[in-house]
C-alpha cells in the first residue's frame, strides 16, 4: 500500500471518532490531550453536539474540508464502519486504539483481517490496532489516553521512540523525561496490522527533528527489510533496539500481547542487527541510557577510558567495570602520557595517584577538579573521561555541576558523569541531561554508555 505518511507525525487536522463527554472515558482523556495541539481538532459522536467546548460532528463525513489523521476510540467490534467512512473521507492515517483483535484469539484475528480489508486498495493507512497512537511534543499531537497528571510528557527533543507496547511507550517517555532527554515523537505500533516498524522508520528517516531512534519490538514484520532499511539510516541516525521474545516463554507472551510471531534465532538476529549498525539493548533502562548517549555525545574515537574521582573506591570499581570481560564492558583503561602525569602532579595533593584512575582524594576542590579535567581532555591517549562527581567532600560546591557542563560541552574529549549526591542525585542527573551533559546515577550505567559510544565510533570507522 502507498499513502502519505507525513500525517502520522505532522497532521494539520485531526478527528477523534468516539469522543465522549464522560471524564472517566478514555476517549475524553484523549480529546483533552489533543486539545493542547496546534492543529484543527474535530470530535465525532452521533449523540453529541459539543464536547469540551468543541463542536461535535455526528460523522467524520460531515466534517468540512480535509482531515489528515483520525483516532478511532471505540470497541473493536464497532471500529470497522468508522474506518470505512475514513477511507471514504480520504483521511491519510487512521489510528485504531482498541484491543480485542488478533492478540485476543481467532475471533479477534478475523476482526483484524476485516479491518485491513476495509483500507485495502485505498490511500488510507492504519496504525494499530491495540495502540495508544502518537505523541509529538513539538506540535502537541497526543492521542494517548493516559492523563498528563498521571504521566507527565517529555519536552521536545531529538529522540524518537517506537514501541510495539503501549506501556513501554509510556515508560520510555517517563524515563526520557527523568533523564532530561527530549523527544521528537513517540509512536505506538500495536498489532502492526498495516503500518509496521519499517514504515515508521521511513517516516523518521525523513523527519528533520529526529536524530536518534529508540525502538521496542516483540517481532519483526519483515526482518530482511528492517536490516536493509536500518543499514541506510543508522550511519546518520543511531538506532537502539530492545527486542523481546528472546525465549520460548517470551515468544508465547508476545503472541498473547500483540499477536507477534518470532521468526528468527537469536544468533541470527544479533548478527543481522550488528551488521546493520543497530545497537541492541536488553532492558528498558539500557534502551534509554544508550539512546541518551548517542543523542548527547554521538561516538568516541576509541575505547581508552580515564577515570577521575575524589573517592578511591569508586575509581577501583570503575576500573573493574571498564576492563572486565565477564562483568564489565571489556574496554581499556587509558595509559596517561608522561606529560599528562607531570601536569597532574602540579595540581593534585602529593599523596594522590596520577595514574589511571586519578584519585583526587577528599581534599578535592572545584578548581582542582576543573584543572584535572582540562589536562585529561588534552591527553591524546584518552578517548573518554568518566567523571565521578561526588558532592560530599567538604571543599567542593554545587559549582562542580557547572564545571562538568562547561568541560563536557567544550568540544574536546567527551566526558560522562557519574553523580553521587545523595537525595539530590536524580535531580542533578536530570539537570545535566537538560543541559546536554551525559550523566547517570551509577558507575555501571555511565560505563555502559561509554561502551556504546565506543562501539558506535568503531562502527562508523568501519563504514569509512
Domain ranges of the chain: 1-126, 154-296, 298-463
Q: Which of 101, 105, 104, 153 is nearest to 127 (CA)?
A: 101
Q: What is the pLDDT of residue 260?
A: 45
Query: In terms of C-beta density within 10 A (0-12 exposed, 13-18 middle, 19 or more buried), how is residue 346 classed?
Result: exposed
What is the distance between the alpha carbons of residues 265 and 275, in angstroms, rounded to a whole number? 16
What is the distance between the alpha carbons of residues 190 and 257, in angstroms, rounded to a whole number? 9
CB contact burial 173-205 (16+ within 10 A = b; e otherwise):
bbbbbbbbbbbbbbbbbbbbbbbbbbbbbebbe
Query: Which stretches within 197-348 are classed as H helix?
Result: 197-206, 223-233, 248-258, 266-275, 284-296, 312-323, 338-347
Q: What is the pLDDT of residue 281?
A: 96
Q: What is the CATH number of domain 154-296?
A: 3.40.50.261
Q: What is the pLDDT of residue 269?
A: 87
On the question of a common fold for 1-126 and 298-463, the answer reads yes
Q: What is the pLDDT of residue 261?
A: 43
Q: What is the pLDDT of residue 1?
A: 53
Q: Find residue 439's DSSP bridge partners.
A: 417
For residues 329 and 383, is the Cβ–Cβ distance under 8 A?
no
Q: What is the pLDDT of residue 343?
A: 97
What is the distance between the alpha carbons of residues 261 and 451, in angstroms, rounded to a whole number? 32
What is the distance between the alpha carbons of residues 46 and 18, in angstroms, rounded to a whole number? 9
What is the distance between the alpha carbons of residues 181 and 440, in angstroms, rounded to a whole number? 12
Report the CATH fold assignment for 1-126. Rossmann fold (3.40.50)
Going residue by residue through the chain (464 aa), what tens digit of pLDDT does each one get?
556 799 999 999 999 999 999 999 999 999 999 999 999 999 999 999 999 999 999 999 999 999 999 999 999 999 999 999 999 999 999 999 999 999 999 999 999 999 999 999 999 999 999 999 999 999 999 999 999 999 999 999 999 999 999 999 999 999 999 999 999 999 999 999 999 999 999 999 999 999 999 999 999 999 999 999 999 999 999 999 999 976 666 555 555 545 444 555 788 889 999 999 999 999 999 999 999 999 999 999 999 999 999 988 999 999 999 999 999 999 999 999 999 999 999 999 988 889 999 999 999 999 999 999 999 999 999 999 999 999 999 999 999 999 999 999 999 999 999 999 999 999 999 999 999 999 999 999 999 999 999 999 999 999 98
For residues 101 and 69, is the Cβ–Cβ distance under 8 A?
no
Q: What is the pLDDT of residue 257?
A: 45
Query: In terms of C-beta density within 10 A (0-12 exposed, 13-18 middle, 19 or more buried), how is residue 115 classed?
Result: buried
Domain 298-463 in CATH 2.40.10.340 = no
Q: What is the pLDDT of residue 259?
A: 46
Q: Which residues contact 326 (CB under 8 A, 6 or more apart)?
A: none
Q: What is the pLDDT of residue 197?
A: 98
Q: What is the pLDDT of residue 264?
A: 58
For residues 264 and 223, is the Cβ–Cβ distance under 8 A?
yes
Amino acid at each position: 500500500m502507498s499513502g502519505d505518511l507525513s500525517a502520522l507525525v505532522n497532521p494539520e487536522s485531526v478527528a477523534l471518532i468516539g469522543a465522549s463527554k464522560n471524564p472517566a472515558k478514555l476517549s475524553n482523556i484523549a480529546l483533552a490531550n489533543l486539545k493542547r495541539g496546534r492543529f484543527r481538532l474535530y470530535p465525532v459522536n452521533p449523540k453529541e453536539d459539543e464536547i469540551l467546548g468543541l463542536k461535535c460532528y455526528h460523522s467524520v463525513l460531515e466534517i468540512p474540508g480535509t482531515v489528515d489523521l483520525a483516532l478511532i476510540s471505540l470497541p473493536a467490534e464497532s471500529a470497522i464502519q468508522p474506518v470505512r467512512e475514513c477511507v471514504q473521507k480520504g483521511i491519510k492515517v487512521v489510528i485504531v486504539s482498541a484491543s480485542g483483535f488478533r492478540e485476543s484469539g481467532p475471533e479477534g484475528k478475523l476482526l483484524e483481517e476485516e479491518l485491513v480489508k476495509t483500507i485495502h486498495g485505498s490511500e488510507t493507512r492504519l496504525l494499530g490496532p491495540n495502540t495508544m497512537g502518537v505523541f509529538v511534543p513539538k506540535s502537541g499531537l497526543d492521542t494517548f489516553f493516559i492523563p498528563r497528571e498521571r504521566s507527565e510528557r517529555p519536552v521536545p527533543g531529538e529522540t524518537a521512540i517506537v514501541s510495539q507496547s503501549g506501556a513501554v511507550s509510556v515508560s520510555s517517555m517517563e524515563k526520557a523525561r527523568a533523564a532530561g532527554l527530549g523527544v521528537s515523537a513517540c509512536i505506538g505500533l500495536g498489532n502492526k496490522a498495516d503500518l509496521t516498524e519499517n514504515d515508521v522508520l521511513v517516516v523518521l528517516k525523513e523527519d528533520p527533528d529526529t536524530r536518534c531512534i529508540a525502538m521496542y519490538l516483540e517481532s519483526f514484520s519483515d526482518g530482511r527489510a528492517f536490516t536493509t532499511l536500518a543499514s541506510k539510516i543508522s550511519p546518520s541516525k543511531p538506532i537502539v533496539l530492545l527486542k523481546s521474545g528472546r525465549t520460548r516463554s517470551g515468544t508465547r507472551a508476545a503472541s498473547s500481547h500483540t499477536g507477534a510471531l518470532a521468526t528468527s534465532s537469536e544468533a541470527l538476529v544479533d548478527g543481522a542487527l550488528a551488521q546493520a549498525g543497530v545497537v541492541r539493548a536488553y532492558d528498558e533502562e539500557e534502551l534509554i541510557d544508550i539512546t541518551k548517549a548517542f543523542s548527547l555525545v554521538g561516538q568516541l574515537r576509541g575505547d581508552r577510558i580515564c577515570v577521575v574521582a575524589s573517592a578511591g573506591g569508586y575509581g577501583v570499581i570503575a576500573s573493574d567495570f571498564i576492563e572486565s570481560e565477564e562483568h564489565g564492558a571489556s574496554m581499556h583503561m587509558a595509559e596517561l602520557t608522561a606529560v599528562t602525569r607531570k601536569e597532574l602532579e602540579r595540581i593534585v595533593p602529593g599523596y594522590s595517584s596520577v595514574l589511571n584512575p586519578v584519585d583526587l582524594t577528599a581534599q578535592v576542590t572545584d578548581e582542582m577538579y576543573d584543572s584535572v579535567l582540562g589536562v585529561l581532555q588534552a591527553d591524546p591517549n584518552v578517548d573518554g573521561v568518566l567523571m565521578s562527581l561526588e558532592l560530599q567532600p567538604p571543599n567542593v560546591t554545587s559549582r562542580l555541576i557547572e564545571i562538568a557542563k562547561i568541560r563536557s560541552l567544550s568540544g574536546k574529549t567527551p566526558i560522562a558523569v557519574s553523580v553521587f549526591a545523595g537525595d539530590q542525585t536524580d535531580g542533578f542527573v536530570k539537570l545535566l541531561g537538560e543541559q546536554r551533559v551525559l550523566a547517570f546515577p551509577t558507575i555501571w550505567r555511565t560505563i555502559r554508555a561509554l561502551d556504546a559510544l565506543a562501539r558506535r565510533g568503531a562502527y562508523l570507522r568501519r563504514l569509512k
